[in-house]
Structure 1
């Protein structure tokens, strides 16, 4: 490990800029950055990277890597814990150009954002793609408040066999992702962190294009944890995330067969079949975030499941009204 706390030293090169604007290269960005700070003999190499960029070449690269590793998957042992220094390096050296120049992320109504941690940031998560709306918001929060933000992430981002081959083992964990399981959720909140949370769970990104901007039922767990640990909730509305993977439907039954939280089918599927490394890519869109007034915790002794559920759905209704209002303003302005 060669982290430097005072100087981040990965340079976004001409090849990285090429990868940013050539969708099959996005997976290369993540892995090259990881290999700058980690010795990873099981990781992808330059020959395999070049094959990513050729139609159908990913399959040959996967075969070459599998043979190079002795016909076994990448090693999963010695996975590191969350490292905020690496998260900062990734945020500044990889995520910054993506958030600024590709997704053009913008954080509005910043006056509603509390100055101090701990905090649960609850956002409408959507797009049926790699969680770019989460990552861009984490970047913007880090820039505006110098916060270390940890997102709650689906278990598939940690251990699904496809993810193990695509991304370095433990990559999500080292970057600070918290497993979306109640014990891990509660443990993270108890450590007084900035936790980025999607109250809709996987139902949000999985609802598909034809239900865009219609919020699913909110899970009440974050209300209960907010009251138990006396942590305020900062609701944030994201506009633009529904267009990360447009005109997409979720084939749920097929997704279950492959052990995926959702399986998006769209007009882009032939391209994804030719370039599987595009699995972490999303369409170019503008991600705009609107910080809503903070929700303060109540007395935990007065909180039961019914009360928590009612308050969660009240928050959902308020966010839904605000989303429709913001969409109407934007559409009226465009006209």
Structure 2
């Protein structure tokens, strides 16, 4: 966590800009050309933040040619004096989240992933809640980012998402994106202490009840919900925060035909390692790790699940597990109906 002084510096950086980020012809090209998405993310960050350890124009150009990312990586490593980029600590910044949402996410969500909310009447008034969704796709978490954008667009909510710690500290992520990128955009570590702290502060959190089991199941078991964790039920009751279930249709197609190789996954210390025919392209263009297949992401908002289950006793904990699996079964039935 950064202190209040550091947060004020970030806010002043955003306030003192005379103009917002405007797409150039190069940005439009990057949006059209899959290896350029990572360029767009970094260029947007560098517009709003000082980032001397970031990529430069020569390296951006190398991103766009087969195998060029490896030369760009070598160039940046030499330019930094044969060291890794500095690992800075960041904290959620709603102003930058809004800028990123309006200037980068909007065209991707609207025209590429064609995101849409269904059953909007089930959205509650503004307030703290846990938004629980089937998370899948074995790719960059576009289903989460798209839902966060759509909820912000529909209700003006500041939504944060629970993310695997790998998205904050893995060496690949530190080279791909600024080290504080995930935190500033609203990422909360998927660890109990951080999860509980965010709930206690009354935030709106996007949460995947299946945990990493959702993406791990691969293409063969698509749209088959795995066992739900119980922590979100427990915290919902402890802090009297309701749960808003959401069914996403389309996220399994973000990276189709995948299987997970557990040995390689453990070797590279990743939560999952998807293998598919698309991996041949990713070997030539590693910058496409933030890209996903074009699909239609539809989000079906379910009725709000109020808090209120006691969890203090052993019997209560058993009841929590039962409630979590009942919710999973309910969402599985709804998913099956929507797929038909």
How high is the TM-score relative to the length of structure 2?
A: 0.94
SS in 2 for 1:85: helix
Q: Give the distance between the partners of 1:214 and 1:203, measured in 2 at CA.
A: 11
Paired residues of 1:5 and 1:85 also in contact (CA < 8 A): no
> 3-state DSSP class of the match of 1:150?
strand
Equivalent residue, structure 1, for 2:334: 322
Equivalence for 1:35? 46
SS of 2:14's equivalent in the other structure is coil
The secondary structure found in structure 2 opposite 1:242 is helix
**Shift in Å, 1:302:** 5.9
Deviations 1:43-63 (A, max 9, x none): 001100010000000000000
Cα contact 1:240–1:285 (8 A) shared by 2: yes
Counterpart of 2:199 (choices 189, 213, 238) is 189
Structure 1: give runs of 5+ residues left out of the alignment: 329-335
Q: CA RMSD in A?
A: 1.3
Q: 1:138 aligns with which of 134, 148, 168?
A: 148
Distance across 1 between alignment mates of 2:176 and 2:290? 9
Counterpart check, 1:251 vs 2:261: yes
Q: Following the alignment from structure 2 to structure 1, what is the Cα–Cα distance between the partners of residues 83 and 186?
A: 27
Q: 1:323 to 1:299 in 2, by over 3 A?
A: closer
Per-residue CA deviations over 1:121-180 (Å, capped at 9, x if unaligned) read 000000000000000000000001100000000000000000000010110011110000
- Stretch of structure 1 that moved more, 22-31 or 129-138: 22-31
Asked whether the 8 Å contact 2:129–2:242 carries over to 1, the reply is yes
Distance of 1:179 and 1:116 partners within structure 2: 23
Inter-partner Cα distance in structure 2 for 1:104 and 1:232: 28
**Counterparts of 1:59 and 1:15, CA distance in 2:** 21
Deviations 1:196-244 (A, max 9, x none): 0000011101210000000000001000000000000000000000000
Q: Relative to 1, partners in 2 of residues 1:181 and 1:57: Cα closer, same or farther, differing over 3 Å?
A: same
Q: After the TM superposition, which residues 13-32 of structure 1 pair with which residues of structure 2 at under 5 Å, given as runs?
A: 13-32=24-43
Residue 254 (structure 1) shift: 0.7
Residue 105 of structure 1 pairs with residue 130 of structure 2? no
User: Does 1:58 pair with 2:69?
Assistant: yes
Q: 2:36 touches 2:287 (CA, 8 Å); kept in 1?
A: yes
Structure 2 gaps, min length 5: 1-9
Residue of structure 2 in register with 1:288 after alignment: 298
SS of 1:187's equivalent in the other structure is helix
1:8, 1:89 within 8 Å by CA — same for their partners in 2? no
Q: Which residue of 2 aligns with 1:312?
A: 324
CA 1:7 to 1:280, structure 2 compared with 1: closer, same or farther past 3 Å?
Answer: same
CA deviation after TM superposition for structure 1 residue 13, in Å: 2.4
Alpha-carbon shift at residue 4 of structure 1 (Å) = 2.6
- Which position in structure 1 is the counterpart of 2:3? none
Equivalent of 2:175, from 159, 165, 168? Answer: 165
Q: Secondary structure at the match of 2:107?
A: helix
Q: Deviations over 1:297-318 (max 9, x none)?
A: 0143567321111100000000
| Aligned mate of 1:119, from 129, 133, 153 | 129
Tell me the SS of whatever aligns to 2:229. coil
Which of 92, 98, 107 is residue 102 of structure 2 equivalent to?
92
Asked if structure 1 preserves the Cα contact closer than 8 Å seen for 2:234 and 2:311, the reply is no
TM-score, normalisation: structure 1: 0.95
Measure, in 2, the Cα distance between the counterparts of 1:204 and 1:67. Answer: 39
Q: Provide closer, same or farther for how the CA distance between residues 301 and 180 of structure 1 changes in structure 2, counting only shifts above 3 A.
A: closer
SS of 2:299's partner is: strand
